[in-house]
Structure 1
Amino acid sequence: MSSNSTTDNLCAPDDHLCITKEHMQAVIIVPTLLLLGTLVTLLFLFLRRYCPEHRRSRATAPRSFGSSHGHTQRHSHRSHLQGIDAPPGLNALEHEELPMSVQQVQEDVRSAPPQTSTERHHNAFSQVSALPLSFSIKPNDEVSLYRASMDNRDVILRVLKEKESSSEKQHFLDFASFVSGLGRHPYLPELLGVVSVQSPVMMVMEELQHGDLLGFLWRCRQDSAGSESSWDMTEKRIHIMAGQVASALEYLHSQSCIHGNVGARSVLVGGDLTAKLWGLGSAYRRGTQPSSPGEFQDMDMKKWQAPEVLARGVVGPSSDVWSFGILLYEMVTLGDPPFAQIPTTELLQHLQRGKHLKRPATCSSSLFSIISSCCHWNRKQRLSIPEVINKLQAGEKSANGSTVLRAPEPIDIERYLREAGYGEAYNYAVL
């Protein structure tokens, strides 16, 4: 007997409620269960496709080294990786585990450009030894310098002494942040790391084997029994090294940064005689400790400063150009102080009378013309840094590269400090 006939037998033809109850299972319950099952299946597929936990587990799954099929399958999807599956510098498919969480990867992707953390720890250094001073002057009471090895590389540790206050520590770390913020340049010493979590805090800088340029020039004064060495100074080498310092200055000026402390004491020399500009203490202090217009903190170095700086006027890139001219004078004289016979108290008046640096006997007319153009009283008539670079590059082609520059006598430290106009002297190497 069919279901229709059974229903008709049980229910009256006009009893609709009875007929509905009799067909409830077939018409309502079964379709409802089928619909719920479909929804659950769709939900499962959706979670499987888009759930972050699933993607993380898939990315961190160990590589199956025993299955060549699994390796081939991974490479077959390489071109489809996007987002956190393929963060810059890291291919998740070539690691057993991701070395960071998904959140960290996303943060690294957002940062531009991605950079390795500069944080270091004390156990990263070996063969630590104190760095001797270039000459005996009053050392910096806040910072000590050490030579060390890190990752098979020679480095210099600029260490803040532990007795310093929290404000001095913050000042030290702010300076490290300032140096890091300048970015990399081939003729600026590279900041390799900072120790900030543990005491003592320190900056880790690349080591330049010959140290500061001033000490290097003084060593070049030694005749070495008349023999020439690979680090003897010639006019051509002056053009090359000065061009490197000028390139660093041009970069700093493009970062709206006035150096304010250009001189041989602020240039470091590498083993291959590459010159790199350091001495950034003045630039940092000018940005963090505003003072009266044109006032420089390093007033011990007056003989390197432009007339407008001495007069506390407006300071600009042309002020660095003046100091760069003095640097050229130091290089060609192998470290003589500028305006040696003029007391610092009379220097501004001396310049106001139209006096200028005298041409050294070892200086060619072309090189001295660059010095004179940098040290012009009228700042508007001084060369710009790009013009300085062009003149140095042009002069390098014809500069004498065979005649070694010599000085008549070794340097006398006490006399130098007096003629250079140092007041309360400091260790320039740690600025």
Structure 2
Amino acid sequence: MSNTSNLTYPCIPGNTLCEVLLLLLYEVELIVVPVVFFVLFFTIFIIVLVLKCCYHKPTKPYQHHIIEKHDKHNPNNTQASTNRHRNSARQHLQGIDAPPQFNPMEHEVIPMSAKSHHNNQNGKPAVPQTSTERSRDIFELITPLPPTLSVQHHDSVTLYRAVMDKQPVILRVLKESADSREHKSFLGFARFLKELGPHTSLPRLLGVVTVERPLMIVMEELEHRDLLSFLWRCRQEHTGQTAPCDLTERRIFTMGAQIGSALEYLHSKNYIHGNVRARSILVGRDLSVKLWGLGPAFRRAMDVGSSMDSVEHVEMKKWQAPEVLARKPLQPSSDIWSFGILLYEMVTLGEVPFPNIMPSELLQYLQRGNKLKKPPSCSKTLYSIMENCCHWKPNDRTSLAELIRKLQSAESRANDQTVIRVSEPLDIENYMKEVGYTDSFSYAAL
């Protein structure tokens, strides 16, 4: 019994020194050790917190640059001028979201998943390079571009009309809600336009706002905007005097040759447009035309998905070649087919191609040997060119060089006196249905 007691309690009864030492040992184990651990943990926590606070970098103020060709940077701008311009631009653009426009410049589809191959080493979006930078106080009279026909699209770009150096311009503004991928895509499209280079029948890139939000692409404004709206207005202007939009057969050949020249330039750069139609043409004050609608070409240049990405939109099918409708690779001759459909739009003043045929039925309709019917106001010469563009087999279609030659030759002999008129009023709701828009659009009277 005494052996067991000695194992559990090592001190001999009555030995006061042993009992005091034993008590001190218990205090070290139960009190001192936990306190040491707590102090150590608290010290480490304070050190980590201090290091984290010291590492945080202050946010630098935004810098706002306008990049434009053929102008020199003004080194005399003061910081006060910078702040005034920044506040002015914000006042005009902040919170203004014009509805999407039925306008080719509004519907440049920017792929949300695009990865620009022009990124720098730091992983930041590549900035289009131009020769010089503009001073900051350049935009005046910034207003949303008024709609002609609104269609519900999920675009990240809003259009504004403005004045820059006493010249009317169009601002393609990236919305404030855009994410980083949309920023890269937006800047990638700006670089694409820059690298594409100038051409007399392509809209001019005047500058890019690249650093401070909102990002902007500055394009020249063409007074009559898109060709489709222009053609529809021509249906309504039946005054006795010569109207600005009076269209003759010679004018159609002139416009066609200009568009063909722009297509030839794109093909020489190894780009296929893939979106040739009246909505993709812009009309200037003197009725000269320029080719726009470069979204599909941009996507292919960025290697986003397959070449069939541009056919995903149902509303484009009425202009697409049979091989594209059959989801085969896009070819330069596919643009020739679409060009023939464009000529049909022009001579009919904006009639829907292949009327009474739904987009889902168009491929079968063409497989049965059906073609575009000759419009009443179309001459044999113009219809012959349309037929040569719209052969079923791509190799049977006329070449672009031959097409331009025929258009220029026909222009010199064409009637320049008789104005093309269409007696039937335009049924916009039926047009939208036959093109392929269903419940996802809203329209307004022109």
Q: TM-score, normalised by structure 2?
A: 0.68
Task: For residue 424 of structure 1, report the CA deviation from its aligned partner.
Answer: 7.3
Code of the residue aligned with 1:310 in structure 2: it is: L
Instruction: Give the Cα separation in 2 of the matches to 1:192 and 1:286.
Output: 24
Of 417, 421, 440, which residue of structure 2 is paired with 1:402? Answer: 417
Identity of aligned residues (%): 55
Instruction: Give the Cα separation in 1 of the matches to 2:414 and 2:431.
Output: 29
Instruction: Give the Cα separation in 2 of the matches to 1:255 and 1:221.
Output: 37
Matched position secondary structure for 1:314: coil
Q: Structure 1, residues 308-327: CA drift from partner, whole Å, max 9, x if none? A: 00111121110000000000
Partners of 1:269 and 1:276 within 8 A in 2: yes
Q: Per the alignment, do residues 217 and 383 of structure 1 end up closer, same or farther by CA in structure 2, a change over 3 Å counting?
A: same
Partners of 1:140 and 1:426 within 8 A in 2: no
Partner of 1:420: 435
Task: For residue 197 of structure 1, report the CA deviation from its aligned partner.
Answer: 1.0
Partner of 2:281: 267
Partners of 2:231 and 2:346 within 8 A in 1: yes
Instruction: Give the Cα separation in 2 of the matches to 1:120 and 1:413.
Output: 43
Partners of 1:120 and 1:194 within 8 A in 2: no
Partner of 2:389: 374
Matched position secondary structure for 1:123: coil
Matched position secondary structure for 1:237: helix
Of 139, 156, 162, which residue of structure 2 is paired with 1:125? Answer: 139
Confirm or deny that 1:145 pairs with 2:159.
yes
Partner of 1:349: 364
Q: Per the alignment, do residues 292 and 173 of structure 1 end up closer, same or farther by CA in structure 2, a change over 3 Å counting?
A: closer
Code of the residue aligned with 1:264 in structure 2: it is: A
Of 403, 418, 432, which residue of structure 2 is paired with 1:388? Answer: 403
Partner of 1:286: 300
Task: For residue 196 of structure 1, report the CA deviation from its aligned partner.
Answer: 1.0
Matched position secondary structure for 2:168: strand
Partners of 2:296 and 2:309 within 8 A in 1: no
Instruction: Give the Cα separation in 2 of the matches to 1:347 and 1:382.
Output: 19
Partner of 2:188: 174
Q: Per the alignment, do residues 220 and 358 of structure 1 end up closer, same or farther by CA in structure 2, a change over 3 Å counting?
A: same
Code of the residue aligned with 1:232 in structure 2: it is: D
Partners of 1:121 and 1:195 within 8 A in 2: no
Instruction: Give the Cα separation in 1 of the matches to 2:441 and 2:261.
Output: 27
Of 315, 336, 343, which residue of structure 2 is paired with 1:328? Answer: 343
Matched position secondary structure for 2:236: coil
Partner of 2:242: 228
Task: For residue 151 of structure 1, report the CA deviation from its aligned partner.
Answer: 1.0
Partner of 2:209: 195
Matched position secondary structure for 1:221: helix
Instruction: Give the Cα separation in 2 of the matches to 1:366 and 1:323.
Output: 18
More deviation, 202-211/221-230: 221-230
Task: For residue 411 of structure 1, report the CA deviation from its aligned partner.
Answer: 2.2
Matched position secondary structure for 1:268: strand
Task: For residue 115 of structure 1, report the CA deviation from its aligned partner.
Answer: 5.5
Instruction: Give the Cα separation in 1 of the matches to 2:369 and 2:339.
Output: 19
Q: Per the alignment, do residues 304 and 121 of structure 1 end up closer, same or farther by CA in structure 2, a change over 3 Å counting?
A: farther
Code of the residue aligned with 1:414 in structure 2: it is: E
| Structure 1: runs of 5 or more not aligned | 1-88, 90-113
Bigger Rg over Cα? 1
Task: For residue 292 of structure 1, report the CA deviation from its aligned partner.
Answer: 4.0
Partner of 1:250: 264
Partner of 1:411: 426
Q: Structure 1, residues 347-375: CA drift from partner, whole Å, max 9, x if none? A: 10111111010000000000000000001
Confirm or deny that 1:116 pairs with 2:131.
yes
How many residues align structurally?
A: 316
Task: For residue 293 of structure 1, report the CA deviation from its aligned partner.
Answer: 5.3
Q: Structure 1, residues 220-254: CA drift from partner, whole Å, max 9, x if none? A: 11143343224300000000011101100000000
Q: Per the alignment, do residues 423 and 244 of structure 1 end up closer, same or farther by CA in structure 2, a change over 3 Å counting?
A: farther
Instruction: Give the Cα separation in 1 of the matches to 2:221 and 2:281.
Output: 13
Partners of 2:206 and 2:220 within 8 A in 1: yes
More helix by share: 1
Instruction: Give the Cα separation in 2 of the matches to 1:277 and 1:125.
Output: 25
Partner of 1:358: 373
Confirm or deny that 1:300 pairs with 2:315.
yes
Confirm or deny that 1:185 pairs with 2:199.
yes
Matched position secondary structure for 2:403: helix
| Structure 2: runs of 5 or more not aligned | 1-69, 71-128
